Chain A
């Protein structure tokens, strides 16, 4: 996971901070933003491999953010974070190309495993399209 960069998107400041910090402790280059809009801005300028995205956010919600993220950066893999997200929103998320979901409060080992798998998928995807992940 040398090169892996993770972006965490959640409007709950406490949660965001904790997850980013815990990922960083595991030597993962993780960053956090607190809105879908900011997420879309930051992926324009910086490379991220995996986005961990909260589904319930004010403003641009998780599903909308997911759609726009996938349009902008089709190779980015997205893991949906759900608090009490309904099955309906989950279905939408998977339909719009989310890789997986994880329930809040996210278990770190589980999250790491899913991030790892998402990253593997991203590299496979890039390899197929003749990109070597920069």
Chain B
């Protein structure tokens, strides 16, 4: 992000130095004969190629750094939001419990003999029932939140990633088949086993598959790819041909409570949990999307996770 603006000048650097050396060689050639000119060209070529390669490396390192910076900012942001929301959930839990108990008590009172003949008793009971229902809904939300913020413990076992994904896929496939969604497997056969937390990884895969199916609704493909990537990391890619995500939403996609589903349909916690899990497993998760064409989630996991 930071030094991208300096790059145009940097890319000119090898050309400038090469031109300077060629000029020097020309000067040498004029004063001492053509052999000197030819000899002068060699350092020009060497310096040109050398500088260009060096700059390429610098650029690559720069991109890598930007990527890691973004990952770090994302993780820190999620941690902060998690902390904040669990704090709020804690505070809200007690008043919620009291509202619930009080409305139960009033419901109980309404059934007493003196009040039974009261005209609007039915309406009151209905209203109280609704209050109780909504309180219950709020409680579920706070529980989920606290669950989300809870310290996540990992237990590492040897895991055959292809097998794990296949298991989750079979589960989802029974539902997706009915909506004419095909699941394409592109598993690398000799993928090394990974030491990681199996149930947590299952949760992530299941989440991504469910999201992909939701994005497609009907008629489309979900492509699952596994492969050995750089630095011995194992890469899992989930691509769908669904509705895609707008650029604006894409930056918020891992935030807790961010959802594009209608109210009551999604908790908005799924992907933020995925992000947390992959973070915890020492890997990273990223997303790219093209609105109208589909979305790709990419996970990279170390072969050996840290405890």
Contact = CB atoms under 8 A, between A and B. Distances in A.
Do the two chains belong together in a single complex?
yes
Nearest to A125: B155
Interface stretch (B86-94, B131-139, B199-207, B293-301): B199-207
A124 B154 CA distance: 10
Q: Dominant SS at the B interface?
A: helix
Nearest to B207: A91
B119 interface: no
B171 interface: yes
A98 to B, nearest CB: 7
A82 B198 CA distance: 19
B102 interface: no
B133 to A, nearest CB: 18
A45 to B, nearest CB: 26
Given A87-B210, A95-B273, A100-B167, A120 B202 contact: no
A85 to B, nearest CB: 8
Contacts of B270: 91
A86 interface: yes
Interface in A69-108: 82, 84, 86-88, 90-91, 94-95, 97-101, 103
A87 B147 contact: no
Most buried by A among B155, B174, B210: B155
Interface residues of A, number: 21
Contacts of A88: 210
B111 interface: no
B199 A100 contact: yes
Contact of A97 (B156, B157, B167, B199): B199
A94 B199 contact: yes
A100 B156 CA distance: 15
B172 interface: yes
A100 B155 contact: no
Contacts of B210: 87-88, 91
A95 B143 CA distance: 12
Given A87-B206, A90-B206, A120-B157, A99 B171 contact: no
Contact of B198 (A86, A87, A91, A100): A100
B203 A124 contact: no
B199 A87 contact: no
Nearest to A110: B167
B206 A94 contact: yes
Interface in A31-89: 82, 84, 86-88
A128 interface: yes
Nearest to A97: B199
Given A84-B174, A95-B273, A99-B199, A121 B206 contact: no
A87 B170 contact: no
A87 B270 CA distance: 13
B203 A95 contact: yes
Q: Sorted from nearest, which 8 A-B pairs have the closest CB atoms?
A: A94-B203, A124-B155, A99-B199, A87-B210, A87-B172, A121-B155, A87-B175, A91-B206
Given A87-B175, A121-B155, A124-B156, 7 more contacts: A88-B210, A98-B199, A103-B171, A117-B157, A120-B157, A121-B198, A124-B157
17 contacts: A84-B174, A86-B175, A87-B172, A87-B175, A87-B206, A90-B171, A91-B203, A91-B207, A94-B203, A95-B273, A98-B199, A99-B198, A100-B167, A101-B167, A103-B170, A117-B157, A124-B157
